[in-house]
Amino acid sequence: MHLTLRPNRQPLRGELTVPHSKYHVHRALILASLAEGTSRITGVSDARHVQYTIRLLRDLGTRITVEGDSYVVRGGPYRPRRDSVSAGSSGTTLYFMLGLASLADSPVTVTGQKYFQRRPVGPLLDALRELGVQLDSADGCPPVHVRPGRPSGGRVVVPGTLSQWVSGLVLLAPFATGRTVIEVRGQVNEQPYIELTVAMMRRFGLRVGVSDDWRRFEIEPGQRAVPADLTIPPDLGSAAFGIVAAALHPSDVLLRGITRLDGDPVDHPEARFLDVVGRMGVPMELDERAGGLRIRHDGVRLRATTVDCREIPDMLPALATLATFAAGETVFEHIGHVRLKESDRVAAMLQLNSMGGDLRVAGDRLLVRGVSGLEGAGLSSYNDHRVLMSLALAGTRARGAGTLTYPRAYRISYPAFLDDMTGLGLRMSVESAAPATPPQSLPDLLRHWARHRPDATAVVDVRRGGDTSLTWRELDRRVDRAAATLLSLGVEPGEPVAYQLPNWAEFVEVSLAVLRIGAVCCPLMPIFRERELAFALRRSGARVLLVPDRFRNREHGRETAAWLAEDPAARGALRHVSVVSADRAPVELPAEDAGLGWSDWNATVTAAEPDPEALAGRGPAPDALAQLLFTSGTTGEPKGVLHRHDTLAHAVRLQIERLGLDDGDVVHIPSPLAHQTGFLYGMWLGVTLGVPQLVQGQWDAATALRALREHRGTFVQAATPFLADLVREVTDGRPVPSALRIFVVAGAAVPRHLAERATRVLGTSVCGAFGTTETCLGALSAPDDEPSTTWGSDGRAMDGVRLRVTDDTGTVLAAGAEGNLEIHTPTPFVGYLDRPDLTAEVWTGDGWYRTGDLAVIGADDCLRITGRVKDVINRGGEKVPVAEMEELLHRHPSVDEVAVVGMPDERLGERACAFVVLAEGGDLDLDAMRKYLEQHRVSKHYWPERLRLVDRLPRNPAGKVQKFVLRQRADAPLRTVPEEQHA
Q: What is the pLDDT of residues 963-983, one digit of tens each?
A: 878 888 886 544 333 333 332
**Which pLDDT value is given to residue 975?**
38
Cβ neighbours, 10 Å, residue 136: 12
DSSP 653-672: HHHHHHHT--TT--EEE-S-
Can you tell me the distance from the alpha carbon of 845 to that of 882, in angstroms, rounded to the nearest whole number?
30
Shortest CA distance to 381 belongs to which of 410, 361, 420? 410
DSSP 738-773: TT--EEEE-SSPPPHHHHHHHHHHH--EEEEEEEET
Query: What percentage of the chain's residues is helix, strand, coil (to nearest 5)?
Result: 35, 25, 40
For CATH 3.30.300.30, list the domain ranges present in the chain: 872-981
The phi-psi region of residue 710 (left if phi > 0; otherwise alpha if psi is between -120 and 50; otherwise beta) is: alpha
Domain 235-424 has CATH 3.40.50.1820: no
Is the dihedral angle over the CA atoms 867, 871, 873, 878 positive or is it negative? positive
Q: Please give the distance of CA 288 from its chain centroid, rounded to a whole number.
A: 49
Yes or no: say if 334 and 346 are a contact pair by the CB < 8 Å rule.
no
SS3 9: coil
Can you tell me the distance from the alpha carbon of 101 to that of 151, in angstroms, rounded to the nearest whole number?
11
Can you tell me the distance from the alpha carbon of 55 to that of 94, in angstroms, rounded to the nearest whole number?
12
Shortest CA distance to 457 belongs to which of 659, 667, 317? 667
868 belongs to an annotated ligand binding site: no
CATH superfamily of 872-981: ANL, C-terminal domain (3.30.300.30)
Q: What is the pLDDT of residues 326-346, one digit of tens each?
A: 999 999 999 987 776 667 889
Is the dihedral angle over the CA atoms 548, 554, 559, 561 positive or is it negative? positive
**Which pLDDT value is given to residue 636?**
53
CATH superfamily of 22-221: Enolpyruvate transferase domain (3.65.10.10)
27 belongs to an annotated ligand binding site: yes
In the chain, which stretches have pLDDT less than 50? 265, 434-439, 633-635, 973-983
Sheet of 216-219, strands arranged across: 154-159, 180-185, 216-219, 209-210
939 belongs to an annotated ligand binding site: no
For CATH 3.40.50.12780, list the domain ranges present in the chain: 436-642+656-665
In residues, how long is the chain? 983
91 belongs to an annotated ligand binding site: yes
Question: What is the Cα Rg of the chain in Å?
Answer: 32
State the DSSP code for 574: -
Shortest CA distance to 794 belongs to which of 774, 825, 772? 772
Q: How far is CA 759 from CA 59, 141, 229, 919, in A?
A: 29, 11, 44, 20
**Which pLDDT value is given to residue 982?**
30
341 belongs to an annotated ligand binding site: yes
Amino acid at 502: P
584 belongs to an annotated ligand binding site: no
Give 708-712 contacts, CB < 8 A, sequence gap 24+: 708/668, 708/737, 708/739, 708/740, 709/735, 709/737, 709/738, 709/739, 710/467, 711/457, 711/460, 711/467, 711/666, 711/668, 712/347, 712/380, 712/666, 712/739
Shortest CA distance to 321 belongs to which of 245, 383, 261, 381? 245
**Which pLDDT value is given to residue 503?**
97
**Which pLDDT value is given to residue 759?**
87
**Which pLDDT value is given to residue 937?**
73
Fold of 436-642+656-665: Rossmann fold (3.40.50)
- 693-696 and 457-462 as β-strands: parallel, antiparallel, unpaired? parallel
Can you tell me the distance from the alpha carbon of 380 to that of 68, in angstroms, rounded to the nearest whole number?
38
Q: Omega before 143 cis (within 30°)?
A: yes
Q: What is the pLDDT of residues 351-396, one digit of tens each?
A: 999 899 999 999 999 999 999 899 998 888 888 899 999 999 999 9
Beta-bridge mates of residue 146: 108, 135
Can you tell me the distance from the alpha carbon of 779 to that of 55, in angstroms, rounded to the nearest whole number?
34
Q: Which helix (H) or strand (E) holds 563?
A: helix 556-566
**Which pLDDT value is given to residue 743?**
95
Tell me the backbone φ, ψ of residue 239, rounded to 5 degrees. Answer: -60, -30
Is the dihedral angle over the CA atoms 46, 47, 50, 54 positive or is it negative? positive
Give the CA dihedral 950, 954, 960, 961, nearest 10 degrees.
Answer: -50
**Which pLDDT value is given to residue 700?**
93
Work out the percent of the chain whose per-residue pLDDT is above 90.
Answer: 63
Can you tell me the distance from the alpha carbon of 707 to that of 697, in angstroms, rounded to the nearest whole number?
12
Beta-bridge mates of residue 144: 110
119 belongs to an annotated ligand binding site: yes
The phi-psi region of residue 583 (left if phi > 0; otherwise alpha if psi is between -120 and 50; otherwise beta) is: alpha
55 belongs to an annotated ligand binding site: no
Which residues are tagged catalytic?
Answer: 314
For CATH 3.65.10.10, list the domain ranges present in the chain: 22-221, 235-424
